[in-house]
Chains A and B, each alone.
Chain A
Amino acid sequence: MIDYNSVLSEKARVIKPSGIRKFFDIAGQMEDVISLGVGEPDFSTPWNVRNAGIQSLKKGKTVYTSNSGLILLRQEIAKYLKRRFHLEYHPDDEMTITVGGSEGIDICIRALVNPGEEVLIPEPCFVSYAPITTLTGGVAVPIETRAADNFRLTGEALRAKITDKTKLLILPYPNNPTGAVMRTEHLEEIARVLRGTNIMVLSDEIYAELTYGGKHVSIASLEGMRERTILVNGFSKAYSMTGWRLGYVCGPEPLIREMTKIHQFAIMCAPTTSQYAAIEAVRNCDGAIRKMHDEYDMRRRLIVDGLRNIGLDCFEPEGAFYVFPSIQSTGLSSDAFCEKLLYEKKVAVVPGTAFGASGEGYVRISYSYSIEHILEALGRIEAFLLEHHAAEQARQKEAVCTE
């Protein structure tokens, strides 16, 4: 009998599974659970996009594309980035189509980070940056962001973590799980710290189209930043195309060339059907994504107001489709809160600690759900809080009496 623990690589064994899963596994086995947990859109992919995928299959477009992806798709993405974010990337050699934004993150970190080099990761954040850094032999260095700063990365916090080993800064805004965004002035603060250094930036802008109250700005569009930025974006969130697994990376040619090499050996090319569908998406869906954006925005207002009304502190998220309320008033830890809420009221939310230690005291709530679903969940959370506070008060009273 093989002892599999002894055959597995140490790096693989040392990384932990995503903390988001745990609650879904429990919730999946319970009846009548209503979830505010998922991190993907509730809209179907726009029909014209789905149809473009179908048509490509009908025409028998079932072979590999070039490693970098269909040139037509890259050309359309280049136009889109210019049109939407004033970014200019050459489709021939400054762009590669990836399997979701996730692969973009992976090949970027792998192409840049040597063993022992440090990757700065603002937390709370999406769960994949640190494990991938670990797999490359790099060192993940969290930078705690705070509710007092609206969960933005500040120049000061960044400067404090820079050492001579710092290789890469992850800039995950709009942010999952907090919903924080970085406006031009906040990005400028970061750019000021980085200009004149050799520190590179991985700007994960997968939620760029879901920015509320103003347009998304990419750090790559700031003076002197394009040369040190790798842009990761994709179709999952903006176009409701999570299952198609399609993203892209853009950056200076020497970097993209190396990333494409890794991509070539690991993946070969992104799914062909998805690439054909994405051409239609990026050409003809500006209106459709606007509509989804507006719908998310209404839900965002509704849920933030709802949470505040039932007594949870909640900073105003300006991006993605998450709110990150504080649950500190309950006296419970994030994990305990989520577990109690799930067992007592059958509402699934994700503990903030799944996104880094600094997420303690918070929970992530997704509003990628219908208004009816959100209102039902808010009602249950309210009942939960009322019962919890009543029980707490009774307990305190009893404690006083026994004294």
Chain B
Amino acid sequence: MDKLVQLLEKNARISDQQLAVMTGLSVEEVREKIYQYEKKGILRGYKALIDWEQYDSDYITSMIELKVTPEKDKGFEDVAKQIMEFDEVESVYLMSGTFDLCVTVTGRDFHEVALFVAEQLSPIESVVETSTHFVLRRYKDRGVKFYDSKSDERGKLL
């Protein structure tokens, strides 16, 4: 895999100069490659990973399993596209297995998320069944450990 993509996936705040030094490319090459990746849609965006639990303890994420009746000729496409338009929805995945769509929804608190499911997702005609799972604790997200001791135990010796 391209080192540049790997580095950006881990930390998108590294400057072009630093990326160039680490990968052995010139700054111009780094910029051109990033531009190309963005143009192709391989690099979709750059966002911060926030520990919302620390920021606001009521903040909640839930994973909602949806069973959906596929529409003729269109399958799950239409309903997935409809659901992804909601701002509250963080991700929408088509799944294999016992349910069809997995939707992640974030909200200020339990109540807000529950209401969103009841008022916005359940009423969609092709949605047959919903099952909401609230995230109680986030141990690791997008490769980053959220529950990890910060102290470096090294350095006591040589």
Q: Which residues of A contact B (CB under 8 A)?
A: 18, 20-21, 24, 27-28, 35, 37-40, 42, 126-127, 294, 298-299, 301-302, 305-306, 348, 371-372, 375
- Which of chain A's residues has its CB closest to B17's CB? A305
Q: Which residues of B contact A (CB under 8 A)?
A: 3, 7, 10-11, 14, 18, 21-24, 152, 154-158
**Nearest Cβ distance between residue B6 and chain A, in whole angstroms?**
9
- Complex interface: chain B residues within 8 A of A298 (CB): 3, 7, 22-23
Q: Are B154 and A38 in contact (CB under 8 A)?
A: yes
Assembly CA distance A27 to B158 (angstroms): 14
Q: Are B156 and A302 in contact (CB under 8 A)?
A: no
Assembly CA distance A21 to B157 (angstroms): 7
Q: Which 6 A-B pairs have the closest CB atoms?
A: A298-B22, A305-B21, A38-B155, A38-B154, A301-B21, A39-B158
- Which of chain A's residues has its CB closest to B15's CB? A375
- Complex interface: chain A residues within 8 A of B11 (CB): 371-372
Assembly CA distance A302 to B22 (angstroms): 5
Main secondary structure of the interface of A (DSSP, over half): helix
Q: Could you say which of B3, B155, B158 contacts A18, with CB atoms under 8 Å apart?
A: B158
Assembly CA distance A38 to B7 (angstroms): 24
- Which of chain A's residues has its CB closest to B152's CB? A35
- Complex interface: chain A residues within 8 A of B158 (CB): 18, 20, 39-40, 126-127
Q: Are A24 and B22 in contact (CB under 8 A)?
A: no
- Which of chain A's residues has its CB closest to B158's CB? A39
Assembly CA distance A372 to B152 (angstroms): 14
- Which of chain A's residues has its CB closest to B3's CB? A298
- Complex interface: chain B residues within 8 A of A127 (CB): 158
Beyond known contacts A298-B7, A298-B22, A301-B21: 19 more, CB 8 A cutoff: A20-B158, A24-B155, A24-B156, A35-B152, A35-B155, A38-B152, A39-B158, A40-B158, A42-B154, A126-B158, A127-B158, A301-B24, A302-B22, A305-B18, A305-B21, A371-B11, A371-B14, A372-B11, A375-B14
Assembly CA distance A39 to B158 (angstroms): 6
